[in-house]
Structure 1
Amino acid sequence: MSIDVSTETITPEQIAAGVRAHQLDKEHVFHSWQAQGPFAPMTILKTQGSWIWDGEGNKLLDFSSQLVNTNIGHQHPKVVAAIQSQAADICTIAPQHVNDARSEAARLIASLTPGDLDHVFFTNGGADAVEHAIRMARLHTGKHKVLAAYRSYHGGTHLAINLTGDPRRFASDHGTDGVVHFMPAYHYRSYFSAATEAEETERALRHLEDTIVLEGPDTIGALILESIPGTAGIYMPPAGYMAGVRELTRKYGIAYIADEVMAGFGRAGQWFSVDHWDVVPDLLTFAKGVNSGYVPLGGVAISGAIYETFRERAYPGGLTYSGHPLACAAAVATITAMKDEAMVENSARIGAEIIGPALEELKAKHPSVGDVRGTGCFWALELVTNRETREPMAPYGGSSPAMAAVTGALKKAGMLPFVNFNRIHVVPPLNISDEDLRTGLAMLDEALSVADGFVEA
């Protein structure tokens, strides 16, 4: 169900209200991941379907799905109605009490997760889902260390940011939280000098097993891995890698946690990304797409074995808003709408038939595009100044005048993009219309001409 926005308008009153909101924001709001002084946030006046309107009334195509979480687009009427209906009955209730929205949301999620992940612990978002999954794994195994990949992101809370394998963790990482990082399988920028994907898989798995052995298997309680890394680059695991990781965790008695916070709920053309490789983890974290962020919600799907650890033993953790009725009602409506409107199937279709082929054409056309990768509605273009050396258009952990120019060109063309380091991510809503999708790809084509100007002659 794509929403027609052709008749949507912004009034002078809305613009005036936006000006006041911007002034109050500058005076009182402390923003995440920003130096507060120079930050100039965009005001959003309205959202509808795959589009947003900024503080000046400009209409922008949301090719970012915000933070890759509005999987069903903005203001889906069925979800809005479900939130309104739930608010009329029970706005909130303590988590020790049963409420029908939470029970039904848990049932629906358990019906979609792989294997025997049949119990759900609800959290407020992805980071605390990761925190609780690690706690469960440590208590289940009796072991403290956690393996996590470089070039990963697991959240902004204390342990989650230390698990993260990108520069966002540097300011908070004191090496005291039992986290051990390993090199991921990332064929385009192989850490193992692999010439083929098969070599990448074999060498990356050997490196991981060496890390386990050298750290001591009896000290490692969990391994957490984004099934498809999100903000780290949407680099797809090569064939055999995910199955190999799962086998190593079984071999050494390590709980395997699949981080599906960004990659889950249809984003990659399957309900969960691990489904691409028929891998069943011990724990699975989710958030974002479970209800498209309409109300904050995350959670941990728990295997039978780990559930049994806490059958007679109290789990030492909880949240005041665990399974919040408004959030769970939104999840029920979101999952139901996704099923009724075949959004997961649509994600797979447009990825295979429109996005993938179009991005390959852009790669052939634009020398600034070094690599194209992805699946479903989850893609990245890696921009380079030299295809032969693969020199990134921005340094790892930073930006550059070139990337700033490309980002500016995308916004000028009418897009709200997702840009990170030297990459442009193509992550539209799963129910974007084919017409709007092609409009966004044409905007991308235009902006890449700007990027080509920074390629070494």
Structure 2
Amino acid sequence: MTPHLPADADGATVKAADRAHVFHSWSAQALIDPLAVAGAEGAYFWDYDGRRYLDFSSQLVNTNIGHQHPRVVAAIQEQAGRLCTLAPGFAVDVRSEAARLIAKRTPGDLDKVFFTNGGAEAVENAVRMARLHTGRQKVLSAYRSYHGATAAAINLTGDPRRWPSDTGSAGVVHFWGPFLYRSPFHATTEAEECERALAHLADTIAFEGPASIAAIILETVPGTAGIMVPPAGYLAGVRELCDRYGIVFILDEVMAGFGRTGRWFAAEHWGVTPDLITFAKGVNSGYVPLGGVAISAAIAETFATRPYPGGLTYSGHPLACAAAVATIRTMEEEGVVGHAAHLGRNVIGPALAEIAERHPSVGDVRGLGAFWAVELVRDRETREPLVPYNAAGADNAPMAEFAAACKASGLWPFVNMNRVHVVPPCTVTEAEAKEGLALLDEALTVADRHTASA
């Protein structure tokens, strides 16, 4: 693939305008140097000098069908020519069809869809539904989680991005989810981790007061917190606890949904049906902002004659829904979900296992489908992270050097704390995946220099 550049290509002008006027997320504005991107296609994007990068981040783990898929681009263009926008109160063909296609793939009776503009708003509304449905206020969520950056969603989040905005009065209680590699329960097997994590959650419920808890929200497979695949039986155990106490069970599939783990929804791996599912990102590969909540019959019935006190001007935006319809149909017709499962089982998983054997900086590898994490450590025996938790500045230098080595080789990584996540588009070819894994293998020699054995 030869990068095609805009006729008036001028990366310096683009970057200068960005630096003058764009305020970036999660950043110290004077310390960042954003890449000026000229174009993208499939699993690659490129800058104005024509330097191409293999996108092993899927941007923010959302371009599940890759960049500029022609069928989705055409659907957006066609919809724009026919009907760009319409208020949420109207019945619109693409809105109805997007909801139908989503409901067709959700587990159980989650057959109603409330559309939002993204994942954080989906979480906000799911929590609101749960609180109104139960008449309770508390919500339990896990440490090592991310649920969004709006008011309720950031309080639910279990990583340091919550700290500057934590009001301490949002009715949120955090607990430890299962994670055997860094077990908070001193477990030595997946079975022990599952049993002890469920016991811990049961104790948390008991001491918080079951009658005060509206919902438990979990990322089915936590994403930015580390792609920690839950042990067999854990999600079923959470479902049982919710049923026992009348608690709404919310699964956050914003990152894990729509093929990312090799299933339409990650919950399918464990045969668990929650009461609410939040989604976004992969529903239309982020081509136009879209998220939503898939709602069970029981919760939908709560609002059959009682107005739901929530809504958005752009709920179910026609351009976004047209992109979703095209994305879902494309994924089905091109076998994208099965391809993601194949990549994880036969390409990415085996390659990462071999890479781990070669590099002392690799402490753990875990994942499903096109959704993997490589945990980097200073010492495999002690499992000391390559950089401290929530490291910044000089403390984060080893990870910064590793990320720079990836980019210098033409690989764009997803790096968070002491991990690199292997999350290419679900449409990445075997050859492209192997190319990226070889570049990752090479870049890990930089991380190896910071290990105890170096």
TM category (shorter chain) comes to: over 0.9
Code of the residue aligned with 2:417 in structure 1: it is F
Match of 2:154 in 1: 161
State the secondary structure of the residue aligned to 1:45.
Answer: strand
Residues 6 and 38, structure 2, Cα contact 8 Å, conserved in 1: no
**Distance in structure 1 (CA, Å) of the matches to 2:312 and 2:72:** 24
Match of 1:176 in 2: 169
- Determine if the alignment matches structure 1 residue 413 to structure 2 residue 409: yes
Question: Which of residues 34, 43, 49 in structure 1 aligns to 2:36?
Answer: 43
Code of the residue aligned with 1:411 in structure 2: it is K
Deviation at 1:405, TM superposition (A): 1.1
Residues 385 and 456, structure 1, Cα contact 8 Å, conserved in 2: yes
The C-alpha deviation readout for 1:212-234, integer Å capped at 9, x for no partner, is 00000010000100000000000
Question: Which of residues 314, 322, 335 in structure 1 aligns to 2:315?
Answer: 322
Tell me the TM-score normalised to structure 2 length.
0.98
Residues 57 and 424, structure 2, Cα contact 8 Å, conserved in 1: yes
**Distance in structure 1 (CA, Å) of the matches to 2:444 and 2:17:** 36
**Distance in structure 2 (CA, Å) of the matches to 1:118 and 1:96:** 19
Tell me the TM-score normalised to structure 1 length.
0.97
Deviation at 1:13, TM superposition (A): 2.8
Residues 3 and 50, structure 2, Cα contact 8 Å, conserved in 1: no
**Distance in structure 2 (CA, Å) of the matches to 1:433 and 1:360:** 19
Match of 1:3 in 2: none
Match of 1:401 in 2: 397
Match of 2:5 in 1: 10
**Distance in structure 1 (CA, Å) of the matches to 2:47 and 2:89:** 41
Deviation at 1:276, TM superposition (A): 0.4
Code of the residue aligned with 2:397 in structure 1: it is P
**Distance in structure 2 (CA, Å) of the matches to 1:88 and 1:128:** 28
- The within-5 A match list for 1:213-362 is 213-362=206-355
Code of the residue aligned with 1:423 in structure 2: it is R
- Determine if the alignment matches structure 1 residue 142 to structure 2 residue 135: yes
Match of 2:450 in 1: 454
State the secondary structure of the residue aligned to 1:13.
Answer: coil
**Distance in structure 1 (CA, Å) of the matches to 2:404 and 2:7:** 26
**In terms of mean alpha carbon deviation, does 94-103 or 18-27 score higher?**
18-27
- Determine if the alignment matches structure 1 residue 436 to structure 2 residue 429: no
Question: Which of residues 65, 70, 73 in structure 1 aligns to 2:58?
Answer: 65
Match of 2:125 in 1: 132
State the secondary structure of the residue aligned to 2:31.
Answer: coil
Residues 268 and 375, structure 1, Cα contact 8 Å, conserved in 2: yes
Residues 363 and 377, structure 2, Cα contact 8 Å, conserved in 1: yes
Residues 5 and 48, structure 2, Cα contact 8 Å, conserved in 1: no
**Distance in structure 2 (CA, Å) of the matches to 1:395 and 1:245:** 31
Structure 1: 5+ residue stretches without partners: 1-5
Residues 70 and 288, structure 1, Cα contact 8 Å, conserved in 2: yes
Residues 42 and 55, structure 1, Cα contact 8 Å, conserved in 2: no
**Distance in structure 2 (CA, Å) of the matches to 1:157 and 1:62:** 27
**Distance in structure 2 (CA, Å) of the matches to 1:433 and 1:296:** 26
State the secondary structure of the residue aligned to 2:24.
Answer: coil
Deviation at 1:398, TM superposition (A): 2.1
**In terms of mean alpha carbon deviation, does 33-42 or 137-146 score higher?**
33-42
State the secondary structure of the residue aligned to 1:37.
Answer: helix
**Distance in structure 1 (CA, Å) of the matches to 2:308 and 2:158:** 28
**Distance in structure 2 (CA, Å) of the matches to 1:13 and 1:107:** 43
The C-alpha deviation readout for 1:61-84, integer Å capped at 9, x for no partner, is 000000000000000000000000
Code of the residue aligned with 1:437 in structure 2: it is A
Residues 3 and 39, structure 2, Cα contact 8 Å, conserved in 1: no
Could you list the structure 1 runs, at least 4 aligned residues long, displaced by more than 6 angstroms after superposition: none
Residues 259 and 284, structure 1, Cα contact 8 Å, conserved in 2: yes
State the secondary structure of the residue aligned to 1:279.
Answer: coil
**Distance in structure 1 (CA, Å) of the matches to 2:259 and 2:156:** 25
- The within-5 A match list for 1:87-98 is 87-98=80-91
Deviation at 1:12, TM superposition (A): 7.1
Deviation at 1:239, TM superposition (A): 1.3
Deviation at 1:11, TM superposition (A): 6.0
**Distance in structure 2 (CA, Å) of the matches to 1:419 and 1:196:** 28
Code of the residue aligned with 2:416 in structure 1: it is N
